Amino acid sequence: MKANIKKIAVLTSGGDAPGMNAAVRAVVRSSVYYNLDVYGVYKGYDGLINGDIEQLQVRSVSNILSRGGTFLLSARSDEFRTKEGRAKAYDNFKANDLDALVVIGGDGSFTGADVFSQEYDVPVLGIPGTIDNDLAGTDFTIGYDTACNTATEAIDKIRDTASSHERLFFVEVMGRDAGFIAVNSGISGGAVAMLLPEHNWGIDDLIRRLQRGASSEKASNIVIVAEGCKLGSAYDIAAKVKAQLDYFDIRVTVLGHLQRGGSPTTSDRVLASRLGVAAVEGLLNGQSNVMVGVVNSNVVYTPISEAVKTIKKIDAEEFRIAKILSI
């Protein structure tokens, strides 16, 4: 089925992720390739509500492929959650003669897109852009690989100090609901343990793990704590461990927002490029209200409602590997 699409808009929404610019660039360039007009909406849904919309050219996206953040700016929009907000957004959508909307963001952004698409029968296509990698319907989200590498590089630096002083470090990485960054950076950083939102480790399990490490005379140790870990923040956990194992010289580092920034990795740029092209081609082929992803190296389109509802699970295999390697 060929859709009659002539003019599309693209916006970035929610927390920014490295590679969002690369995705916008791919949407713009493939639109031009297919003779579509393409418009950029600034500051996420707020820009749609306020009419902060501008036509984009190939020239508008020159030199952004390698840049972190999003030149379209991003925001979480409270107003778009209201009926009135979405009505204003639709007014601007029609006023600009737009035929379809590409939304680059995470699950919150997609939920909004879903409602909007159903209320106004607007073709919407989602591109997964979030460092959290917690969306079903794609093996990887844009920004995830870069965030993992940023975390790994930070852990490598912290290990220099940990080794030199024979210390135990707790390193907190992002991941409120999902421990993807924690597991991957934990394996690649050689952590002795990873505390994830998905798991039910008690403080005693961790203590046992660390005593085993100490008994094997491991001079330095790094424990990765995902933001959403049920045992508390990295500081909380460090205090509890200190209370029981006072022979450890303990330090805490919270990586925080630097995980969101930086020039995207090759994988993230290539993924963003593929998904940007596939988003435009999807719209041209009549896809609507779907998220485009890559599963087993193939482009797939998943209904947004499904991508948002299903919880992607961490590969149990990967966690098993982590345990074997942290003996």
Residues 6+ apart with CB under 8 A from 229: 179, 195, 196, 197, 237
Query: In the complex, what is the shortest distance from the CB of residue 94 to a second copy, in angstroms, rounded to a whole number?
Result: 28
23 appears as a binding residue in the annotation = no
Q: Which residue has the tokens 């897109």?
A: 113
199 appears as a binding residue in the annotation = no
Closer residue to a second copy (CB): 28 or 124:
28
Q: Which residue has the tokens 């036509």?
A: 55
For this structure, is 37 an active site residue? no
Structure-derived torsion over alpha carbons of residues 230, 232, 233, 238, reported in degrees to the nearest 10: -120
CA distances from 300 to 118, 124, 132, 139, 292 (A): 21, 15, 20, 10, 6
Closer residue to a second copy (CB): 122 or 155:
155
Distance from C-alpha of 58 to C-alpha of 33, rounded to nearest angstrom = 10
59 appears as a binding residue in the annotation = no
Query: In the complex, what is the shortest distance from the CB of residue 317 to a second copy, in angstroms, rounded to a whole number?
Result: 8
79 appears as a binding residue in the annotation = no
Closer residue to a second copy (CB): 73 or 229:
73
Distance from C-alpha of 173 to C-alpha of 323, rounded to nearest angstrom = 19
Query: In the complex, what is the shortest distance from the CB of residue 267 to a second copy, in angstroms, rounded to a whole number?
Result: 7
Closer residue to a second copy (CB): 55 or 118:
55
Q: Which of 293, 170, 173 is nearest to 241 (CA)?
A: 170
Distance from C-alpha of 279 to C-alpha of 91, rounded to nearest angstrom = 24
Residues 6+ apart with CB under 8 A from 62: none
Query: In the complex, what is the shortest distance from the CB of residue 87 to a second copy, in angstroms, rounded to a whole number?
Result: 25
Report how far Cα 45 is from the mean position of its chain's Cα atoms.
Answer: 18
81 appears as a binding residue in the annotation = no
Bridge-partner residues for 235, per DSSP?
Answer: none
Annotated catalytic residue within 16, 37, 99, 132 = 132
86 appears as a binding residue in the annotation = no
Query: In the complex, what is the shortest distance from the CB of residue 252 to a second copy, in angstroms, rounded to a whole number?
Result: 8
77 appears as a binding residue in the annotation = yes
How many residues appear in the chain?
327
Closer residue to a second copy (CB): 183 or 307:
183
Rounded to 5 degrees, what are φ and ψ at 313? -100, 150
Residue 88, SS3?
helix
Binding residues: 15, 25-29, 76-77, 106-109, 130-132, 159, 167, 174-176, 218-220, 227, 251, 257-260
Active site residues: 132
